[in-house]
Amino acid sequence: MAKAKNVFVCNTCGHEASKWMGQCPGCRSWNTMVEEVKMTGVTSKKASVLSDDMAMGKVEKLKDISINQDTRVKTGIEELDRVLGGGLVEGSLTLVGGDPGIGKSTLLLQMCQTISNQDLKVLYISGEESNKQIKLRGERLGVDGENVLLYAETSLQHIEQAIKNEKPHILIVDSIQTIYSDVLTSAPGSVSQVREVTSSMMKIAKQLNLSTFIIGHVTKDGAIAGPRVLEHMVDTVLYFEGDRSVSYRILRAVKNRFGSTNEIGVFEMVDSGLREVKNPSEYMLTGKPLGESGSAVTCCMEGTRPLLVEVQALVCSTNFGMPRRTANGTDYNRVNLLVAVLEKKMGMQLGGYDSYVNIAGGIKVNEPSLDLAIVSALASSFKNKAIMDDAIIMGEVGLTGEVRGITQCEKRVIEAMKMGFKTCIIPHANLKHMKNVGEIKLIGVKSVEETLGRIFR
């Protein structure tokens, strides 16, 4: 007979213990152990709605397995296809995370419309909203596809039965924390429930070649709620980034078994839903002031996509004994390091000045090629001299003030040329490897001192 046993499970890593502990022995996280009821002595096999043929696979030779080149399904949203690696893969399991209200459900509901137009059946499982609520949101987004099926249910067993009956091509579960299995006695959203439900969804996706999306809640730190094993089980992990106060959203792939990782898709939130941003560089530079000090443009790489961003700096006299250092959108410690380089190598006495650095538009960039633009913007604000409006600056800065080479420099220069820039300040190490990229003027620099002697108007 089944017996109930109380165990304590870590919300982060899923480690089980017989008693409560302040620190998890598995992942060393604090205050993550929660009590759950675990059934022991269960000998009966869990009933499954899948047939025996579906539940059991077969052994095949690697060389005998044929691959259809058209296994990917286009979602009709180019930015989403880019992040997924070219479209949906049959039998894939994709986890979509992000802050509440950032647009996870909106994007997937818009995807339902484009897929429905391809005569593919979509089953949308909602554990948080009723069918009427989804219908109201669908009317606002213009979603009225005949092949879009809605099912408001939280029981895993009922969902499996609906999948068997409807035989959809695409499955969307919103959200994984609301679905529960009757086999377990713990509450929906607990570690054991999330792990069990995700495992069942993965088996269904692989056995039926069903492309599945599951939406996951995030914690206050921005990580996917539930055990870390959840991200290891799925094929693709997509994160929605961006402030709710700004209109743009970034969809980033941090794990992808079928394509490149760290690819991004840029969307703009409007009244009718999420709209693709075809040229994010132009979007990020909208509103850039001309002829103002403390502003520099650089190019960063997001996956394989070059993206132009504006770096803003403000240096002003401090009213306190200790100057303030603030970094918004980039690494705070890196900004302190670059301020020290300016003080030591360029003789700028910034000890009595507050220094503020901001990446315009709210985007977060941490790659080293941003260094030279930050140094240039700080020096421009300190000297109150404007940088040339048609110049773009990129390069890594070392502690001795040297400018080091960066990766994929040619792609960055081509993107700058497309946006109308006439001068490109790049590391001298990259200059000798550059091919003929067009009419843009390339200036190779070896040090911060050389850079500051060339960028001002």
Binding site as annotated, residues? 98-105
Question: Taking a C-beta distance cutoff of 8 angstroms, is the pair 26, 10 a contact?
Answer: yes
Q: What's the rounded Cα separation, in Å, for the pair 105 and 249? A: 13
Three-class SS state of 326: strand
Spell out a b/e string for 110-148, using b for 16 or more CB atoms within 10 Å of the CB, else e: bbbbbbbeeebbbbbbbbebeeeebeeebeebebebebb
Question: Taking a C-beta distance cutoff of 8 angstroms, is the pair 397, 452 a contact?
Answer: no
Question: Taking a C-beta distance cutoff of 8 angstroms, is the pair 373, 393 a contact?
Answer: yes
Q: Please report, to the nearest 10 degrees, the dihedral formed by the alpha carbons of residues 20, 21, 25, 30 taken in order.
A: 120
Question: Taking a C-beta distance cutoff of 8 angstroms, is the pair 133, 165 a contact?
Answer: no
E strands, 243-377, are: 248-256, 264-270, 273-276, 295-302, 305-317, 325-328, 353-359
Q: Please, which residues bridge with residue 317 across strands?
A: 353
Q: Please, which residues bridge with residue 170 across strands?
A: 122, 211
- φ, ψ for residue 449 (rounded to 5)? -60, -45
Q: What's the rounded Cα separation, in Å, for the pair 86 and 74? A: 7
Residues in the chain, overall count: 457
Distances (CA, A) of 121 to 149, 160, 161, 167, 308: 8, 16, 16, 8, 39
Q: What's the rounded Cα separation, in Å, for the pair 159 and 165? A: 10
Helices (H), 76-213: 78-84, 104-116, 131-141, 156-166, 191-208
Nearest to 427 by CA among 411, 449, 443: 443
Would you list which residues are annotated within the binding site for ATP? Answer: 98-105
Angle at 283 between CA 281 and CA 284, to 5 degrees: 65
- φ, ψ for residue 370 (rounded to 5)? -80, -15
Question: Taking a C-beta distance cutoff of 8 angstroms, is the pair 427, 405 a contact?
Answer: yes
